[in-house]
Chains A and B, each alone.
Chain A
Amino acid sequence: MDHALVVGLHLLHAMASLALVSVGLAVIFGMLRVINFAHGEFLMVGGYAFVLSAGAGLNLWVAMLVVAPAAVGALGFLVERFVIRHLHGDIIATILATWGLSLFLIGLAATVLGYHQQGVAPPFGTVQFGSYSIGIYTFFVMIVAIVTIVSLFVWLRWSRSGLLVRGAMQDPELAAALGADTRRLRTAMFVLGSALSGLAGAVLAPLAGVLPEIGATYVVKAFITVISGGATALTGTTLAAALFGFTSQAAAFLSRPVVGEVALLIVAIVLLRLLPTGITGRYFRKAL
């Protein structure tokens, strides 16, 4: 019984962390259609912003929930303003530029901070379930994921600015003709997506640690999740994160972690074979 409970919690945690890793990309790639190869490095920068500012004596929660998103949001603003905007949606140019940016950020982190792993111990300690113990921080990760996704959903669905954003993404020309400043909206959304990535990087840092090259472990999963989600970025990404997180964690439990990684990729391939336009290409079309 306790074992089942612990396994269930691990499964939920895998879904939550995958959703967190992907939600920033759901905004940047899913909504703005910007292929951001530096997504993993945005998470890395978020992780460093958290670890360094917490190490400098700042309150842990301020560092995680305020400093990290703000720092990566600012980075996102610079990137959008000076690079992405000038590429005018050219896919190939965007791939090359963001890949360059990814290398640049890795190199910068390595030059300034060195190639060794840094981290903060997960707060809260552990809780016992019979003979098993599980970190209380695991629950915190789930809560952050749920709060992030639900508040994004509520904002997009029911607020006036959310409506404006949805309109501008759906038909930029019409929105512009009706007086919306689509350029500023795009910048704002890019900053939002970056800030969410920063938050995710900070929240996962106590569990995964940070080092300059950590982005590579996140970026592929995030892209696969968002793409498999399909046309409606937020719902699709959440569903895909749940499916993939569950499969990979379950497969990892049944055999080894590497089998979990492979299972995730195989499920993604089969899924795209069956539903070539992603999960929300066929189902949940009215969602967000």
Chain B
Amino acid sequence: MNWVRERAGLLAAVAVGGTLIVVVPVVAEIFALFELTLFLVLAILALSLAWVWGFGGILCFGQSVFFGLGGYTYAIAVINMGDSTVPLMLGILLPALLAGILGYFLFWQRISDVYLAVITLAVSLIFYYLTGASAGSEYRIGNALLGGYNGIPSVPPINVPGLPEHQVVYGDLYVLTAVMLAVIYGGLRGLLATDFGRVVVAVRENEERAQLLGYDVRTTKLTVFVIGGAIAGLSGVLFAAWGSYVSPNVFSMTFTAQIIVWVLVGGLGTLSGAVVGCVLVQAAMTWLGEAKLADTNLVLGAAFVVLVLFARRGLVPGTRSLLADLRGRVRSAP
């Protein structure tokens, strides 16, 4: 019984993950599955920020840079190559490399919170303006036209390695995405349980103390940042493959702010919160957009303000402490 209680979170995650991967594809209709795939793709992106910010303590306002770069890299590479295996890897490697360079620049200079947030945001906007200005036939990489604000259309989907005719679409893409999400979630949890994970949290809690204890703060933060960049890149690849489309909007202020909101709604400092927050917010936005009851921005904005005023810590930690409260009350009852 104790064993179950201690591992309630993990068991819940396994149960939810199992349902998502095994049961949903069988039950859900193809359109619902298509939409759900997008939520899970974005949930991977949310996880990357939950990791970088919630555990690494790095307030990155430009997580969309890595997402967008992953998407663009994949789109350009796959249009030129045909087979998706190498483009997929490039879509993870290039964002990780950018994160490495940017992280080196940021952490070795000891740039602090707000400044770091602004710099990462500025980098994202630079990409926004540059990709937006790439309209016209002279802006092409190989066979891929960059297309300015119109973006790159008809991006080929992911295929089974080596077999370009076996495309991973609809139901298959859903399963692939769900498995990736589960693997990344599990991987990050596992990483947090290692010595390295403990150092990461120690650095977040008190950078100076961690350094005085002899840990290399800068390398730790850099590693966290690169891992986050790679995950966001993967999410971008899946996004481009999902919609067979990528445009400068992925670098926009609105998009990058959205990632922050997903993490905050779910609860900063949790991994599951990011997934829950992302799926809930996106589902609410889609539903509001389809129902046309009121302007999406209006309702969502009001909801955030109310949420902050009355449920400060986010959904997952809030629910957790509510459950703990109830349990305590049951136990103390005569």
Contact = CB atoms under 8 A, between A and B. Distances in A.
Interface of A: 35, 37, 83, 86-87, 90, 92-93, 95-97, 99-108, 110-111, 216, 219-220, 223-224, 227, 256, 258, 261-262, 265-266, 268-269, 272-273, 276
Given A100-B302, A110-B297, A265-B123, 4 more contacts: A92-B264, A103-B304, A104-B305, A111-B294
| Chain B CB within 10 A, most for which of A87, A261, A269 | A269
Contacts of A273: 105, 109, 111
A269 B112 contact: no
Interface of B: 105, 109-112, 114-115, 118-119, 121-123, 125-126, 129-130, 132-133, 252-254, 257, 260-261, 264-265, 268, 294-305, 307-309, 312
11 contacts: A83-B309, A90-B312, A99-B261, A104-B301, A107-B296, A258-B129, A258-B133, A261-B129, A262-B126, A262-B130, A276-B115
A108 B305 CA distance: 14
A276 B132 CA distance: 30
A83 to B, nearest CB: 6
Q: Is the interface of B mostly helix, strand, loop or mixed?
A: helix
A86 to B, nearest CB: 6
Nearest to A90: B312
A258 B132 contact: yes
A272 B297 contact: no
Contact of A100 (B115, B125, B252, B304): B304
Nearest to B121: A220
Given A104-B301, A276-B112, A265 B126 contact: yes
A108 B298 contact: yes
B221 to A, nearest CB: 16
A224 B122 contact: yes
A262 B129 CA distance: 7
B104 to A, nearest CB: 12
Contacts of A100: 300-305, 307-308
A219 B61 CA distance: 14
Contacts of B260: 95-96, 99
